[in-house]
Chain A
Amino acid sequence: MTEATASPGASRRSGLWALVMSAVVYPLLILQTLTFILLAPMVLPLASVLTGRPLGRIVRYFIWIYGKVWMILIAPFTRFEKIGLTQDRFPQPCIIVLNHLSFFDVFCMGALPHSNVGFTVRSWPFRMIWYAPFMRMAEYVDMETLGHDEALLRCRELLDSDTTLVFFPEGHRGRDGKLGRFYSGAFKLAVETNVPIVPLCISGTDRLLPPGTLLMAPTTIRLQALAAVDPSGFTGESAHVALRKAVKTAMAEALEKQK
């Protein structure tokens, strides 16, 4: 039975499950976040010294583990379906373009097969004081504040250090489950750096935390990585536009099939 045709009894049960899930997951999420924040001052410098890796790389790994722990916390209430999330689908570095449905989309990046992942985001996530220091240490790129030229320069530097970048090409969360307009930044960067684009389709996180509500609801989250797209196949002055349209078409088709 689909959610749209659920009976009143099923609706009451799902409402009860949403209450139980929220009552369990939110406190655990707060506990998890506090634990990571308290561990960070010891673990991050120590790991950086022991591994000899730059702090940014270590913090990105730390955040990836944070995402994985969150996925374990919600696992009793949520089914994860992963399609194509294998190492060979994600050349290093690559530019992941991800449709955006929920605040929790980024948490699901714990399912990615490698950890050296930086995010390009708008300025508001940098205002969450409990996450902001980690985002800065992880060298996430504030696309809104920096402006395009400076932001894309930072992106190129991260790609040069083999860091995969995640872009939300819609720029903000979709409210109706449909793909919104794609901005060109990720695609221009891909053409200029010749770094492949990996389209990543996510569904279900909008049902996990529906827009405008605070109650989480049990659901199925699907993550599907499509085949990497080589930007060298797109040439000319409007190569990035053609690349953008090709990637969006592929993602729209995949998301339609996921329904």
Chain B
Amino acid sequence: MQQHIIDTVNTALAEEFELEAETMQPDSHLFNDLGLDSLDAVDMVIVLEKAFGCKLRDEQAIREIRTLGDLYAFIEAKRKELG
């Protein structure tokens, strides 16, 4: 996993949702552990699109994301796909 993806995701989400850095572990569940709700999930996509400069919405895969680790993997796969 590329460290810069992890750092960028963590920084963007920490800023957007006022999360504590120590709670942001790869196995942290977005809803159960980080306390995001369904509105936050929409905002999360927007903020990550801005952070990575690519479209992430309308993706079936993003609906399957449960943990931060899933999110890192999704972003990495997406960036590889876009070249």
Taking beta carbons and an 8 Å cutoff, which residues of A are in contact with B? 147-148, 171, 181-185, 188, 237-238, 241
12 contacts between A and B (CB under 8 A): A148-B38, A148-B39, A171-B35, A181-B17, A181-B19, A183-B37, A184-B37, A184-B39, A238-B43, A238-B47, A241-B16, A241-B43
B46 in contact with A183 (CB, 8 Å): no
A185 CA / B43 CA spacing, docked (Å): 12
A147 CA / B40 CA spacing, docked (Å): 13
A181 CA / B18 CA spacing, docked (Å): 6
CB proximity of B58 to chain A, nearest CB, Å: 14
B46 in contact with A237 (CB, 8 Å): yes
For the side of the interface on B, what is the size category? 10 to 19
CB proximity of A240 to chain B, nearest CB, Å: 8
A202 CA / B19 CA spacing, docked (Å): 24
Extra inter-chain contacts (13) besides given A183-B39, A185-B39, A238-B47, CB under 8 Å: A148-B39, A171-B35, A181-B17, A181-B35, A182-B18, A183-B40, A184-B37, A184-B43, A185-B37, A237-B46, A238-B46, A241-B16, A241-B43
- The interface residues of chain A lying within 8 Å CB-to-CB of B40 are 183-184
Closest to B49 in A: A237
A238 CA / B12 CA spacing, docked (Å): 14
A63 CA / B40 CA spacing, docked (Å): 32
- The interface residues of chain B lying within 8 Å CB-to-CB of A147 are 38
- The interface residues of chain B lying within 8 Å CB-to-CB of A182 are 18
Interface centre among B18, B19, B38, B39 (most CB of A within 10 A): B39
A188 in contact with B46 (CB, 8 Å): no
CB proximity of A41 to chain B, nearest CB, Å: 38
Closest to B20 in A: A181
Closest to A152 in B: B39
Interface centre among A181, A188, A238 (most CB of B within 10 A): A181
- The interface residues of chain B lying within 8 Å CB-to-CB of A237 are 46
A80 CA / B11 CA spacing, docked (Å): 41
- The interface residues of chain B lying within 8 Å CB-to-CB of A171 are 35
A148 in contact with B43 (CB, 8 Å): no
- The interface residues of chain B lying within 8 Å CB-to-CB of A148 are 37-39
Q: Per-residue CB proximity of B31-48 to A under 8 Å, as 1/0?
A: 000010111100100110
CB proximity of A217 to chain B, nearest CB, Å: 30
- The interface residues of chain A lying within 8 Å CB-to-CB of B38 are 147-148
